[in-house]
Amino acid sequence: MVKSVAVTGLGCISALGHDVNQFWGALCNGETGIRPLTNMPLESLKIKACAQIQNYNSLHFFSNEELPYLDKFSQYAIITAREAIVDAGLEAAEIHNAACVVGTGCGGKETDEEAYQKLYKEGKTRAHPLTIPKGMPSAAAVQVSMHMGISGPVFSVASACASAAHATASALAMIRSGLVEVAIVVGTDAPFTYGLIKAWEGLRVLSPDTCRPFSKNRSGMVLGEGAGAVVLESLEHAKKRGAPIYAELAGCGMSADAGHITDPSSDGAARAIKAALDDASMNPGDVDYVNAHGTGTKANDVSETQALHQVFGGHAAQLMVSGTKSMHGHPLGAAGALELVATVLAIKNGIVPPTANFTEAGEGCDLDYVPNQAREKRIKSAVSNSFAFGGLNAVLAIRAMDGA
C-alpha cells in the first residue's frame, strides 16, 4: 500500500518578506514585491525591474565565522529549512534520520562571479580556496544538512525552473518507498549578479516593468530570488507524533517535451498534469485551484492555458487559476517551492491568491485567473505547475486532509 504523505512544516524568504507569515499576508493582499533593481550598475543594464529580498542582512541570520562558507543561495536555503523544521516541531532525532533534497536552477552564482571578477578583471592569479565548496550546486544541500543535523539521504536537483518541484517529487518517492519517514525539501536561488542578469537580458524574455501573467499587455517575466521549504512526512509518522498537518501531498507528475529548448509544449505540460492527477487518484473534476507556472511571457501563458484545457476539458472553466509570480517574481529554482507553500496555504486557509497586475485577458488566455483580488473559497484539491526551459515539466497535486 502506497503511504500517504503529509505537509507538516513551511518556510520561505522572498521579495514578499522574510518568513511565511509575511509571504502569505502579501499574497492575500495582492501586494507585489517587484521593484527597481538595486546594488547593480544600472547604466549598463536594459532591465531594471526585479523581485529582490528587501532589508536582508546576512548577519541577522549567520555569524561572521559561518558566512565565508555560505553563498547567498545557501543562506536562503538554511533560513527556510530552519523555519519549516521549527514549524513542524521536529525533534533532533527525527531530523537526524530525515532526507533533505534541495532544488536549485543556478547554484552559487554570486561565488562564481566573485571569482571570475578577481581572475579576469582584477588580474589575480589565484581563486579563493572556498570557491568550489561554496559555489557548487550541491552547496546548499550540504549546508542545510550540516546546519540542521540531517544525516539521511541528502542531494541536489537541478532542472532549471522545475528544480524545486522535481526535488519535492524525489522526496515524495523516498517517503512512499519507506526509505525515510521525514524529508525536508528546499528550492533556492540567488540570481542577482551582473553577469547572470546580462545573460537573461540576452534571452529577451524579461519584462521592463512588471509581471502580468495571462494579460493582453504582458511583457515577460521578472527575475526574483529567495527560497521556499516544506517538511514532508508519512501520514503515519505525522499522526504518531501529533504533528500539525497542512495538507496531503497527494501526487506528482513529470514529463519532458523532448522538443524546443525555450518554446514550451502544451502537450508536454498536459502529460505532466495528467500524470499528477493519476498519481493522486484524482479526477479532473476534483481540482478547484491551479497555481500556474504563469511567467507572463507570450509563449508560456498560452501553452499553459491550452494544457489546462486539454486535461480538464469542460471543467477548466470552473478552475481558479492564479499566477503568483506576479507578486514574488520568478526565483527560478525556488519558484516551485514558493508556489507549493502558497498552494498549501490556499488549501489550509480557504483563500485563493490573486494574479496581480492583471488588466485584460490576452488572446488564448480564457480561464478564471482570479484577477487582482484574493478570493475566499474552500479548496479540496489543487495542482501546482512548474515548467522549465528544455521542456522539463513537474506538477504537484495537493489535497485537503480531513481534520487537518
Pairing state of beta strands 49-50 and 35-36? Answer: antiparallel
| 287: nearest Cα among 368, 379, 370 | 379
> Which among 18, 166, 237, 293 is annotated as catalytic?
293
CA distance 191 to 223: 8
Is residue 17 within a helix (H) or strand (E), and if so which, with residue range?
Answer: none
Residue 243, phi-psi category: left (phi > 0), alpha (psi -120 to 50), beta (remainder): beta
Rounded Cα–Cα distance for residues 207 and 37 (Å): 13
Residue 106 is a catalytic residue: no
Residue 293 annotated as catalytic: yes
Give the whole-angstrom CA distance, residue 206 versus residue 50.
9
Strand, helix or coil at 102? Answer: strand
In this structure, are strands 392-399 and 247-256 parallel, antiparallel, or unpaired?
Answer: antiparallel
The catalytic residue among 18, 328, 330, 365 is 330
| Catalytic option among 161, 211, 252, 365 | 161
Rounded-to-integer distance, Cα 321 and Cα 358, Å: 12
Spatial distance between the Cα atoms of 361 and 215, rounded to a whole number of angstroms: 5
Other beta carbons within 10 angstroms of residue 187's beta carbon come to 40
**Cβ(218)–Cβ(362) below 8 Å:** yes
- Secondary structure (3-state) at 262: coil
| Whether residue 330 lies in the annotated active site | yes
Name 35's bridge partners. Answer: 50
Looking at the DSSP bridge assignments, the partners of residue 386 are 394
Catalytic residues: 161, 293, 330
